[in-house]
Amino acid sequence: MPADRQPSSPSDPVEDGLGLKPRLAALALLEAALGRRNGLEEATSAKGFLELPPRDRAFARALTMATLRHLGPIDRLLAERLQKPPPEAVSQLLRIGVTQILYLEIADFAAVATTVQIAAARPATKPFKGLVNAVLRGLSREPPAPPPAEAYAPHGSTPGGRRPMARRRRRLLRPSRRSRPPISPCGVPIKPAR
Protein backbone atom coordinates (compact mmCIF):
# COMPACT_ATOMS: atom_id res chain seq x y z
CA MET A 1 0.00 0.00 0.00
CA PRO A 2 1.48 3.42 -0.90
CA ALA A 3 2.55 5.52 2.07
CA ASP A 4 0.31 8.45 1.14
CA ARG A 5 -2.81 6.27 1.01
CA GLN A 6 -4.81 5.79 4.19
CA PRO A 7 -6.16 2.33 4.96
CA SER A 8 -9.67 2.05 3.65
CA SER A 9 -12.55 2.32 6.05
CA PRO A 10 -15.14 -0.48 6.29
CA SER A 11 -17.60 1.72 4.42
CA ASP A 12 -15.26 2.16 1.45
CA PRO A 13 -17.33 0.48 -1.29
CA VAL A 14 -14.42 -0.12 -3.63
CA GLU A 15 -12.40 -2.20 -1.18
CA ASP A 16 -14.99 -4.03 0.90
CA GLY A 17 -15.07 -7.26 -1.13
CA LEU A 18 -18.68 -6.96 -2.26
CA GLY A 19 -17.86 -7.07 -5.96
CA LEU A 20 -18.08 -3.35 -6.48
CA LYS A 21 -14.84 -3.02 -8.42
CA PRO A 22 -16.14 -4.88 -11.48
CA ARG A 23 -19.41 -2.93 -11.30
CA LEU A 24 -17.50 0.35 -11.16
CA ALA A 25 -15.41 -0.84 -14.11
CA ALA A 26 -18.62 -1.70 -16.00
CA LEU A 27 -19.97 1.75 -15.24
CA ALA A 28 -16.78 3.32 -16.59
CA LEU A 29 -16.97 1.13 -19.72
CA LEU A 30 -20.62 2.08 -20.27
CA GLU A 31 -19.90 5.79 -19.84
CA ALA A 32 -17.00 5.51 -22.28
CA ALA A 33 -19.00 3.53 -24.83
CA LEU A 34 -21.90 5.98 -24.81
CA GLY A 35 -19.76 9.06 -24.43
CA ARG A 36 -17.32 8.96 -27.30
CA ARG A 37 -16.41 7.10 -30.45
CA ASN A 38 -14.08 4.13 -29.79
CA GLY A 39 -14.64 4.77 -26.09
CA LEU A 40 -15.29 1.15 -25.22
CA GLU A 41 -12.14 0.00 -26.96
CA GLU A 42 -10.05 2.65 -25.22
CA ALA A 43 -11.60 1.91 -21.84
CA THR A 44 -10.97 -1.84 -22.08
CA SER A 45 -7.30 -1.17 -22.77
CA ALA A 46 -6.92 1.35 -19.93
CA LYS A 47 -4.51 0.52 -17.15
CA GLY A 48 -7.17 0.51 -14.40
CA PHE A 49 -9.30 -1.99 -16.28
CA LEU A 50 -6.40 -4.28 -17.12
CA GLU A 51 -5.31 -4.38 -13.47
CA LEU A 52 -8.56 -6.09 -12.47
CA PRO A 53 -8.45 -9.87 -12.05
CA PRO A 54 -9.64 -11.76 -15.15
CA ARG A 55 -12.89 -12.81 -13.47
CA ASP A 56 -13.76 -9.20 -12.60
CA ARG A 57 -12.83 -8.01 -16.10
CA ALA A 58 -15.08 -10.66 -17.63
CA PHE A 59 -17.98 -9.69 -15.38
CA ALA A 60 -17.50 -5.97 -16.12
CA ARG A 61 -17.40 -6.64 -19.85
CA ALA A 62 -20.48 -8.91 -19.70
CA LEU A 63 -22.42 -6.35 -17.68
CA THR A 64 -21.49 -3.55 -20.09
CA MET A 65 -22.28 -5.54 -23.21
CA ALA A 66 -25.64 -6.72 -21.84
CA THR A 67 -26.51 -3.13 -20.96
CA LEU A 68 -25.60 -1.93 -24.44
CA ARG A 69 -27.46 -4.82 -26.07
CA HIS A 70 -30.68 -4.06 -24.16
CA LEU A 71 -30.31 -0.28 -23.99
CA GLY A 72 -33.57 0.51 -25.82
CA PRO A 73 -35.86 -1.64 -23.65
CA ILE A 74 -34.03 -0.52 -20.49
CA ASP A 75 -34.47 3.16 -21.35
CA ARG A 76 -38.16 2.66 -22.15
CA LEU A 77 -38.63 0.84 -18.84
CA LEU A 78 -36.90 3.63 -16.90
CA ALA A 79 -38.91 6.30 -18.71
CA GLU A 80 -42.12 4.57 -17.59
CA ARG A 81 -40.99 4.55 -13.96
CA LEU A 82 -39.51 8.06 -13.72
CA GLN A 83 -41.43 11.32 -13.86
CA LYS A 84 -38.50 13.20 -15.39
CA PRO A 85 -35.12 12.04 -16.63
CA PRO A 86 -32.39 12.04 -13.96
CA PRO A 87 -28.84 13.30 -14.56
CA GLU A 88 -26.76 11.19 -16.93
CA ALA A 89 -24.61 9.68 -14.15
CA VAL A 90 -27.75 8.44 -12.38
CA SER A 91 -29.17 7.08 -15.64
CA GLN A 92 -25.99 5.05 -16.20
CA LEU A 93 -26.23 3.61 -12.68
CA LEU A 94 -29.88 2.71 -13.17
CA ARG A 95 -29.09 1.02 -16.47
CA ILE A 96 -26.41 -1.11 -14.80
CA GLY A 97 -28.81 -2.04 -11.98
CA VAL A 98 -31.66 -2.93 -14.33
CA THR A 99 -29.35 -5.08 -16.45
CA GLN A 100 -28.22 -7.03 -13.41
CA ILE A 101 -31.80 -7.68 -12.29
CA LEU A 102 -33.45 -8.46 -15.63
CA TYR A 103 -30.79 -9.82 -17.95
CA LEU A 104 -27.89 -11.24 -15.93
CA GLU A 105 -30.02 -13.02 -13.33
CA ILE A 106 -28.05 -11.62 -10.41
CA ALA A 107 -29.90 -11.81 -7.11
CA ASP A 108 -32.15 -8.77 -6.80
CA PHE A 109 -30.93 -7.80 -3.35
CA ALA A 110 -27.30 -7.91 -4.50
CA ALA A 111 -27.98 -5.82 -7.59
CA VAL A 112 -29.92 -3.22 -5.61
CA ALA A 113 -27.46 -3.08 -2.71
CA THR A 114 -24.34 -2.74 -4.84
CA THR A 115 -25.90 -0.14 -7.14
CA VAL A 116 -27.06 1.93 -4.15
CA GLN A 117 -23.59 1.67 -2.59
CA ILE A 118 -22.00 2.95 -5.79
CA ALA A 119 -24.53 5.79 -5.88
CA ALA A 120 -23.68 6.70 -2.28
CA ALA A 121 -19.93 6.66 -2.98
CA ARG A 122 -19.97 9.00 -5.99
CA PRO A 123 -20.48 12.72 -5.33
CA ALA A 124 -22.54 13.23 -8.50
CA THR A 125 -25.01 10.48 -7.63
CA LYS A 126 -25.10 10.63 -3.82
CA PRO A 127 -28.23 12.85 -3.67
CA PHE A 128 -30.05 10.30 -5.88
CA LYS A 129 -29.28 7.13 -3.93
CA GLY A 130 -32.88 7.03 -2.64
CA LEU A 131 -34.19 7.26 -6.21
CA VAL A 132 -31.86 4.46 -7.34
CA ASN A 133 -33.00 2.32 -4.40
CA ALA A 134 -36.70 2.97 -5.03
CA VAL A 135 -36.59 2.33 -8.78
CA LEU A 136 -34.57 -0.88 -8.51
CA ARG A 137 -36.57 -2.27 -5.56
CA GLY A 138 -39.80 -1.52 -7.39
CA LEU A 139 -38.44 -3.26 -10.45
CA SER A 140 -37.43 -6.32 -8.44
CA ARG A 141 -40.87 -6.49 -6.77
CA GLU A 142 -42.83 -6.02 -10.00
CA PRO A 143 -40.72 -7.10 -12.97
CA PRO A 144 -42.03 -5.97 -16.34
CA ALA A 145 -43.33 -8.27 -19.01
CA PRO A 146 -40.64 -9.20 -21.55
CA PRO A 147 -40.47 -6.67 -24.38
CA PRO A 148 -41.97 -7.72 -27.71
CA ALA A 149 -39.65 -8.93 -30.42
CA GLU A 150 -40.25 -5.70 -32.34
CA ALA A 151 -38.34 -3.84 -29.61
CA TYR A 152 -35.16 -5.51 -30.87
CA ALA A 153 -35.97 -5.43 -34.60
CA PRO A 154 -34.15 -3.02 -36.88
CA HIS A 155 -36.05 -0.11 -38.38
CA GLY A 156 -37.91 -0.94 -41.58
CA SER A 157 -38.78 -4.48 -40.56
CA THR A 158 -42.09 -5.94 -41.53
CA PRO A 159 -44.39 -7.64 -39.01
CA GLY A 160 -43.23 -11.02 -40.30
CA GLY A 161 -39.68 -10.21 -39.29
CA ARG A 162 -38.28 -10.05 -42.84
CA ARG A 163 -37.30 -6.88 -44.56
CA PRO A 164 -39.29 -6.00 -47.70
CA MET A 165 -36.27 -6.37 -49.97
CA ALA A 166 -35.53 -9.88 -48.75
CA ARG A 167 -38.24 -11.46 -50.94
CA ARG A 168 -36.94 -9.78 -54.09
CA ARG A 169 -33.36 -10.69 -53.24
CA ARG A 170 -34.30 -14.34 -52.71
CA ARG A 171 -36.12 -14.40 -56.06
CA LEU A 172 -33.10 -12.95 -57.83
CA LEU A 173 -30.72 -15.42 -56.22
CA ARG A 174 -32.93 -18.47 -56.83
CA PRO A 175 -31.91 -20.33 -59.99
CA SER A 176 -34.47 -20.07 -62.74
CA ARG A 177 -35.90 -23.22 -64.32
CA ARG A 178 -35.49 -21.71 -67.77
CA SER A 179 -31.86 -20.80 -67.33
CA ARG A 180 -29.24 -22.32 -69.56
CA PRO A 181 -27.02 -25.05 -68.17
CA PRO A 182 -23.61 -23.87 -66.99
CA ILE A 183 -20.81 -23.97 -69.55
CA SER A 184 -17.34 -25.31 -68.76
CA PRO A 185 -14.24 -23.21 -69.63
CA CYS A 186 -13.78 -25.23 -72.80
CA GLY A 187 -17.35 -24.45 -74.02
CA VAL A 188 -19.01 -27.82 -73.26
CA PRO A 189 -22.33 -27.71 -71.36
CA ILE A 190 -22.06 -29.22 -67.87
CA LYS A 191 -24.73 -31.77 -67.05
CA PRO A 192 -26.29 -31.33 -63.62
CA ALA A 193 -25.73 -34.15 -61.12
CA ARG A 194 -28.81 -36.21 -60.36
Domain of 125, in residue numbers: 20-141
- Is 95 contained in some domain? yes
- The CATH number that applies at residue 61 is 1.10.940.10
Please tell me the total count of domains within the chain: 1
- Is 54 contained in some domain? yes
- Is 128 contained in some domain? yes
- Is 50 contained in some domain? yes
- Is 40 contained in some domain? yes
- Is 131 contained in some domain? yes
- Is 75 contained in some domain? yes
Q: How many angstroms separate the Cα of 102 from the Cα of each of 8, 37, 82, 85, 147?
A: 32, 27, 18, 21, 11
- Is 28 contained in some domain? yes
The tens place of each residue's pLDDT in the chain, 194 residues long, gives 344 433 333 333 445 456 899 999 999 999 999 988 878 888 888 888 999 999 999 999 999 999 999 998 999 999 999 999 999 999 999 999 999 999 998 999 999 999 999 999 999 999 999 999 999 999 999 988 876 776 666 555 545 555 555 665 565 556 555 566 566 667 676 666 66
